[in-house]
Chains A and B, each alone.
Chain A
Amino acid sequence: MIVEIGHFALVLALAVALVQMALPAWGAQVRDGRLMQVAEPAAFAQLGLIALAFAALTYGYVTSDFSVENVWANSHSDKPLLYKISGVWGNHEGSMLLWVLILALFGAAVAFYGTNLPESLRANVLAVQAGIAVAFLAFIVFASNPFSRIPLQPEGRGLNPILQDPALAFHPPFLYAGYVGLSVSFAFAVAALIEGRTDAAWARWVRPWTLAAWVCLTLGIAMGSWWAYYELGWGGWWFWDPVENASFMPWLAATALLHSALVMEKREALKVWTILLAILAFSLSLIGTFLVRSGVLTSVHAFAVDPRRGIFILAILVILIGGALALYAWRAPQLKQGQLFAPISREGMLVLNNVLLTVACATVFVGTLYPMALESLTGDKISVGPPYFNATFGPLMGLLLLAVPFGPMLAWKRGDLLGGLQRLLAAAAVAAVALVATCALYWRGPWLAPFGVALAVWVMAGAVTEWTSRIRLFTSSAGDSLRRALGLPRSAHGAVLAHLGVGIAVLGIVATTAWQSETVLALKPGQVGEVAGYSFIFHGVGVGQGPNYSEQLGRFSVTRGGAPVTALTPSKRTFETPRQTTTEAGIHAAWGGDLYIVLGDALPDGAFVVRAYFHPLVRLIWLGAVVMALGGALSLLDRRLRVGAPRRSARRHAVAAPSPAE
């Protein structure tokens, strides 16, 4: 019964979304306040109904109601509660429900916080949001119903064991919050095109939403990568897999959007471009959804296996993206062009940032879709793998990282490159020292690696330099510096932190890529292996029992230079339903890097295959991502950027606009 109520609520949500799409937009067109006001209660009602539907499905999972097909196919009564709940979105139908739930949450948040938006803008934004909701709700109701019933089954088929992991339980909600959060920027862009009006206030309204989506996307991607690192058994953390790229492209576009919206907000420049980026960022989220769902990635033929869903998503894609781009082509030329600026200026650097990020994003896009396009056009099958992406994406990012510290050092409108360089002298010196030191330490290693390290240090030192120069650390009294640090807007701290995070992550990526070491051995109990200065003694294999799996535990004690370090127990877990084995690596984390031991198969002579890796500084990759996200969150707390920024500050901004960079 509860499940049926959920189903009913979902259909009702579709009806509400239809109303929310049509009436407010019509009202904004004919300037009818009452029609426009429909948007707000409709957005809340939509959230309530979808939340009810989601709760009903979750109830089905928690109570293991195996008369619901979706629950039966993806759950098992033995699963721990956390994975019963995360099982709700561990499958196609449930994850689509999560998608629309988050969409409704963002819609309601716009309705709630947007009370000071111009009435027609708010009505249009909420109508566009509802339009997206209509498309996806219809998709769920007509092509991916999670509530369909089957005759009651005694037991479920279980959730894939590989997904029964805490990081994976929370990876999809964060990723979706990022994808869907970009729909708000998209809705704002389309609404601005409908109204034919954009200004600094528009950018100020859009930026917090983009920022929130970007923070979620950063964390979601990092979580997926972290999970892959410790769960998949060899310590890889990024594979340039199409499904990863699908989440990475919106991140790149959102990063570009954050920076161009900054230019638009402060200088009223790059308006038309910012609108286009807002449309593209969400379009890439939609394309990501399409890529993953329709099956075209596996093979162009898979599309025909289950064409209904694929064609449905393709239709959504064409209507939403095509519609928005057509509107853009029609209305964008009428938008007022913005302010001019010299190439050497903060705007100029942000344009460079946008060019490089967009080209990088396009490269990932082309690399991901090229094999598919080529095969459907000519029948030729080619592979585009990590070597391609490293060769193209790598240099673009190198250029970008080189430029990052300059941006904040240049003044708006017309900057002084020499002056900027002078202020960055200390940072450049630190980077040069890092270059020489790494060359000296690892002179036989890959020749690019020291430059990568120097680049990472350059970005970090640049971020620190910006911070110290803004609070006049060392050039002013400590009290004055403290006063300045407290007076600095949170978004300034946030930007410094985010750039610092980029440097940290790059350092981790370079170090672990260039200097990881590994060894593969066949060990019998009592034998010793060595990797990167660690010795590990294999004591044999024991057995253990988990809630829904049994496991083989390899016991190792690790020493370094004769001194005991730790004991590691990498394991192999065998799940019953579905019958499948997973590996759990034994990881010892230290400042210098991770010792990572994996237990392999038993060999006929009683030995076990043992793989041991040393991943230097690998944790910096995720630490960097977390620092980036913290920087974004800090910016989000900025009073000036408060969601739906108050009018008072918008006016203050209008007054302050002609003044040069702070």
Chain B
Amino acid sequence: MRGNGRMANGEWRVASLAPAIRHWPFAIRHLAVALAAIFIALSPVQAVEPGEKLKDAALEARARGISQELRCVVCQNQSIDDSSAPLAHDLRVIVRERLVAGDSDAQVLAFVEARYGSFVLLRPRLKPETVLLWLTPLLLLGGAAAYLIRARRRPAGAPAETAPLSPEEQRRLAQLMGEAPSAPAHRHPR
């Protein structure tokens, strides 16, 4: 049973429930069991609140961009930009405070990461344990290219398409053509 909004330690967190509802359409099959047991009034999903917004439009736009890179750590796979959890609210405020204090975007992300761990970053940093994650697309593309090039080199010499037909094949071809006189033999490239 996968509990939406259920913490790893088994506690139900109201904060993480409301945001989790967006996963339900695809998780329809298991959720009612998990959720029917809870009779808590949930507030609908809400993100940025009017009071949080910065006056400076450019700074606010940066704050929104950063918010989409940060995970609401008590939610399921949701950025703080989308979440109504109190923790997401706190993080949004922190992000804006740092921006007002003059931090660059990278500094803000580093600031939050230092306090909440790398789990908070929705774009994992490239480091030894994530090398495979980031390189998978490139490795696979390279592998496919190498395989295709090798496969192409292998039949050195005459390509099979110009190999003469065996007597058996010629007999069969003649038979087929004879069977279907309308077959467009003249359209054959060679």
Which residues in A have some Cβ–Cβ distance to B below 8 Å?
73-74, 87, 89-92, 95-96, 157-160, 162-163, 168, 171-172, 175, 224, 227-228, 232-234, 236, 239-244, 246-247, 292-295, 297-299, 301-302, 305-306, 309, 339-340, 343, 351, 355, 358-360, 362-363, 366-367, 370, 374, 378, 380-388, 391-392, 396, 413, 520-522, 572, 574, 578-583, 598, 600-601, 609, 611, 652, 654-656, 658-660
Contacts and interface: CB of A to CB of B under 8 A. Distances in A.
B112 interface: no
A491 B35 CA distance: 45
Contact of A386 (B37, B122, B189): B122
Contacts of B184: 656, 659
Given A233-B46, A234-B45, A609-B50, A73 B123 contact: no
A366 B25 contact: no
Given A302-B3, A520-B53, A386 B68 contact: yes
A579 B35 CA distance: 11
Interface residues on chain B, size class: 35 or more
Contacts of B43: 581, 601
A378 to B, nearest CB: 6
Interface in B112-164: 117-124, 129-130, 132-134, 136-137, 140-141, 144, 148, 152, 155, 159-161
Given A236-B82, A384-B124, A387-B123, A302 B46 contact: no
Given A295-B1, A340-B159, A579-B41, A91 B32 contact: yes
A658 B188 contact: yes
B157 to A, nearest CB: 12
Given A233-B45, A297-B2, A392-B134, 4 more contacts: A92-B1, A157-B36, A242-B77, A382-B129
Contacts of B50: 520-522, 609
Q: Which 9 A-B pairs have the closest CB atoms?
A: A385-B122, A95-B29, A387-B123, A243-B26, A295-B2, A583-B44, A157-B36, A381-B119, A224-B25
Contacts of A382: 118-119, 121, 124, 129-130
Nearest to B189: A660
A363 B137 contact: yes
Contacts of A293: 2, 29-30
A378 B40 contact: no
B105 interface: no
B147 to A, nearest CB: 9
Residue of B27, B130, B155, B184 with most chain A CB atoms under a 10 A cut-off: B27
A340 B159 CA distance: 8
A580 B122 contact: no
A414 to B, nearest CB: 9
A388 B137 CA distance: 12
B27 A292 contact: yes
B140 A391 contact: no
